[in-house]
Structure 1
Amino acid sequence: MAETLPSRAPYAEDPARSRGRKVEEPESRTRTPFARDRDRIIHSTAFRRLKEKTQVFVAHEGDHFRTRLTHSLEVAQIARSLATALGLDPDLAETIALAHDLGHPPFGHAGEDELQIQMQGFGGFDHNVQTFRVVTKLERRYPRFEGLNLTWETLEGVIKHNGPVIDKLEKPSWRAIAEFDADYDLRLSGWASAEAQVAALADDIAYNNHDVDDGVQAGLFNLEELGSIPLIGPYVAGATADYPTAEARILRLEAVRRMIGAMVDDVLAETRRRAAADKVGSPEDVRNLGHALVAFSRDMAEDLSALRAFLMEKMYRHWRVNRTRSQARRMLAEMFQLFMAEPDVLPAEWYARTHARDEAGKARVVCDYIAGMTDRYAIEEHRKLFHLDSLH
């Protein structure tokens, strides 16, 4: 017999009570405001580009490794499942999950690190801010406004899903947020909705699990090495005991599946415990709680910390990954410096945006152009710029 879905939580966001959009629009006849936001994100150029942006491995290194697109889809699936189980609005949780990586540059964290260096003195770079700029400014699809004109609740979740950000507004890289907030208050000193917090935890669940999966598949470590690591180790042992004749690939996938399930169950239990203990009865209670409502338990957080330490040592700092990071950073640095010195080699549309701008404004245009590149496009663009035999 199918399990009955939980009733709507009193602290769930109600799309019928959305605070609306910065530019007023007629409501959709067929979709809630949050579902409409989701569809706008899916149809955006920035979302399509995620298919060839990566986190650890460069897109051309293998067809089986996660990209930002597959990661975002995994996060969205987990977020929607969590939201449904908690009686929250699944469309809003899914929407924020789909949007959360739109501002990442090519080559994952290596690309972000390099753009932070190149943008020193020009306002800095932060991928969360860039995501916000993508959905509020850089996407150009509509005649009446820049960006996607998303609802207040989605924008709040995009910029605050990891918690209050008021303390970041003094950073040069967060100037765009401060300027937007001055005209359209997102209550940056408070927490975001429970749906946004669900999206943040879904991100943690997805990337920790798929990094384990991708790391084993890439040969950076093996199942035996995972045996002593908290959280994943017991599930490797359990899968091996239950299926002693299964091939290693199946055991890896089974262990990861079990770990995802355990992390989801932990979030559900801890969130329900906190909601009851703090008597959370409305969306405003969530924003004013003073701490996260949606969270891992203390034991799960400790186990996750140990797993992340293992991944940092065995994967993120592996010499093969370091070599790729080094190459990626050199490519982005060389392109950035060339575009700053010779902006007329930018594509015509982007060159036009540099006109009548000071150095900081020109740097922001260059940064936006590079940040929007996929891994494959960045490699090809660098080849065309620095190798005469690749001009056409």
Structure 2
Amino acid sequence: MHRALFSSLRQGTQSPYDELRPPFLIDYDRLIFSNPFRRLSKKTQVHPLAKNDHVHNRLTHSLEVASVGRTLGLGVGHHILRIDPKCPHSPYDVAAIIQSACLAHDIGNPPFGHAGEEIIKEWFTHHASPYMDELSMEERADFLAFDGNAQSFRIITQLENHPKEGGMRLTHSTQASMIKYPWEAIDPRSGGKKFSFFQSEKKIARELLEGFGLKEATELLRHPFSYLMEAADDICYALLDIKDAVELGMLKANQMEEIFLPLCGEKEYQKSLSSQGNSDYEKVSRLCAIAIGRLTQQALESFIAHELLTPKKGVKDLVSLFIDKSLREGLEKAKALGHEKIFNEPRKIELELGAYRTIGILLENLIHAAYSLHRGEESFKTKHALMLIGHHAPRREQSLYEKYRAVLDFITGMTDNYATHLAGQLGGMGR
């Protein structure tokens, strides 16, 4: 079964054979050189518009996740060779697939990170009428439950490099490894917030996963490699968000015993904490490095022990299957600390309130302009507002759903800085 998890097929025209670069490594290169990936350097990871250069942005986060993902891929690749010595795919193929999926996993996140997602959802909830009166229930759900995961899948399959003709044309294995939630927004499993493809990409996602045989009855299943991508993300954001909080003075090293003691062990914890001459940031950096190493090894061992190379229904995530209870609980406590101390920090909340106004102004002007175009009621201002989007602006012949998708493609592609600048321009003009 594991051989069926590899596919170098791509949407659109197939790439010619490259003797220097295997197909999965080409995926990595395409992502690294892409415009949406580069713009992640000016998008929020946790702390909006951070002036401290030591703090993570969405780009540095993605690179670190990709590093952990590559290690997990190598480990699983060597496991495949042990059980199937004649497998035509090397451990480096698995590593490149996971590394590429990790690079792409946040490429569709809007400005201001997860706060941006919540602002978009809330705006559409409050402006459902008249803007969404003509949409189907499935289409409405895409906006009411907007998810950056689905926008990432849209970028790589539809928007970047070859619009509507395969997008980045990444291999099927890399694309499938990105899909954490193989269902649409209206599916009850989404909980109104977590899904991996919009209606506009539903057919692509279904054909992609069915091509791997990832279907049971009417339900699509996750590609096994997606668990590795997700675990790499979980490990990095839980710990490195804490590291940023220490750098910004929100937390002290001695406040995190219940996290790092189980993750690093008594000896390493005490050694790091008692080191003379080191700042809190240096102490926590060392503890994070040790913890990431142990958690990565645990993720690999748990993936193999639970035989996740065989697609399974009902597996929530890899972290919940960790064999070592102390490591699992330590990671969960790190996440909980993030939500308790970091996500509710006053300065962060102030900036997110500013982000609410910023994205609200953009949506108010551009969604209104798209709606006016659809109704044949354009004004001088709405015409000029849509001109800002450039050659990907909504077109008259498109459905209302497609027009709104084009607006969100534009807004979610913005950096924090550009969104703030453009909202300032539009906000000063009135509607």
Query: Do these two structures clear the TM 0.5 threshold for a shared fold by scoring above it?
Result: yes
Return the letter of the residue paired with 2:272.
A
Give the TM-score, by structure 1 length: 0.83
Separation in 1 of the partners of 2:347 and 2:270?
Answer: 28
How far residue 211 of structure 1 moved from its aligned partner, in angstroms, is: 0.5
How far residue 143 of structure 1 moved from its aligned partner, in angstroms, is: 8.4
* Corresponding position of 1:4: none
Give the TM-score, by structure 2 length: 0.76
* Corresponding position of 1:237: 270
Q: Within the alignment, does 1:28 sit opposite 2:52 as a pair?
A: no
CA contact (8 A) 2:69 2:228 kept: yes
**Counterpart selection for 1:319 from 313, 327, 346:** 346
**Counterpart selection for 1:155 from 175, 180, 189:** 175
CA contact (8 A) 2:176 2:208 kept: no
Separation in 2 of the partners of 1:143 and 1:292?
Answer: 33
Separation in 2 of the partners of 1:348 and 1:165?
Answer: 30
Return the letter of the residue paired with 1:152.
H
* Corresponding position of 2:425: 384
Aligned pair count reads: 365
**Counterpart selection for 2:103 from 92, 98, 105:** 98
* Corresponding position of 1:145: 165
How far residue 78 of structure 1 moved from its aligned partner, in angstroms, is: 0.7
Structure 2: tracts of 5 or more residues without a match: 79-90, 126-131, 133-139, 370-381
Inter-CA distance 117–361: structure 2 relative to 1 (3 Å threshold): farther
Structure 1: tracts of 5 or more residues without a match: 1-9
Inter-CA distance 51–336: structure 2 relative to 1 (3 Å threshold): same
Inter-CA distance 314–26: structure 2 relative to 1 (3 Å threshold): closer
Separation in 1 of the partners of 2:297 and 2:223?
Answer: 20
1:183-332 equivalence runs, <5 A: 184-186=208-210, 187=214, 189-229=219-259, 231=262, 236-241=269-274, 243-275=275-307, 286-288=310-312, 291=315, 294-295=318-319, 296-297=322-323, 298-332=325-359
CA contact (8 A) 1:82 1:268 kept: yes
How far residue 111 of structure 1 moved from its aligned partner, in angstroms, is: 0.5
- Give the stretch that moved more between structures: 167-176 or 350-359: 167-176
How far residue 115 of structure 1 moved from its aligned partner, in angstroms, is: 1.2
CA contact (8 A) 2:235 2:295 kept: yes
1:61-210 equivalence runs, <5 A: 61-86=51-76, 87=78, 88=91, 89-120=94-125, 121=132, 122=140, 123-124=142-143, 125-139=146-160, 141-142=161-162, 145-159=165-179, 162=180, 164-165=182-183, 169=187, 174-181=198-205, 184-186=208-210, 187=214, 189-210=219-240
CA contact (8 A) 1:136 1:147 kept: yes
Q: CA RMSD in A?
A: 2.9
Inter-CA distance 13–249: structure 2 relative to 1 (3 Å threshold): farther
How far residue 42 of structure 1 moved from its aligned partner, in angstroms, is: 1.4
Separation in 2 of the partners of 1:64 and 1:142?
Answer: 35
Q: Cα deviations across residues 352-376 of structure 1 (Å, max 9, x unaligned)?
A: 4243345433322221111110111
Inter-CA distance 317–13: structure 2 relative to 1 (3 Å threshold): farther
Return the letter of the residue paired with 1:249.
Y
Inter-CA distance 13–247: structure 2 relative to 1 (3 Å threshold): farther
How far residue 341 of structure 1 moved from its aligned partner, in angstroms, is: 2.9
**Larger RCO (alpha carbons 8 Å, 6+ apart):** 1
Separation in 1 of the partners of 2:317 and 2:108?
Answer: 26
Separation in 2 of the partners of 1:56 and 1:305?
Answer: 18
- Give the stretch that moved more between structures: 337-346 or 291-300: 291-300
Q: Percent of aligned pairs with the same residue?
A: 27
Separation in 2 of the partners of 1:105 and 1:237?
Answer: 40
Separation in 1 of the partners of 2:187 and 2:29?
Answer: 30
Return the letter of the residue paired with 1:21.
R
